[in-house]
Amino acid sequence: MCKENALFELKSAFAEMADISKSDGALIMAPISHAGRQTPLAVNEHPYSVTDEESTSSFVTAGKPVALRLDQIKTEVVDRFAYTAKYAYDTG
């Protein structure tokens, strides 16, 4: 989840799924992650990373990474993780 695709309909669907899932006491967990330079090419041609060195993984064809500057780490990583965590919390 990110700000760019946080539609009301999607939030409502997540909230409904959480309510139904938790109705018998189940715990819902939403793992939040970032693949960095190992982000598959089909997902992002130029993923953010700590380095601009391309991944050498033989398991995935990754895009050409873009190294973040220090000031971008807050806006493109920390703030986005916080947004997603709050979004997940708010939906249940």
Average pLDDT for 60-75: 93
State yes or no: pLDDT of 69 exceeds 90: yes
In the chain, the percentage of residues whose pLDDT exceeds 90 is: 71
pTM, 2 dp:
0.78
Measured N-to-C along each axis, helices 79-91 and 8-22 cross at an angle, to the nearest 10 degrees, of: 60
Place of tokens 């993780």: 81
The pLDDT score that the predictor gives to residue 68 is 95
Judge contact between 30 and 88, C-beta under 8 A.
Answer: yes
* Bridge-based pairing state of the strands 66-67 and 48-49: parallel
Q: Residue type at 52?
A: D
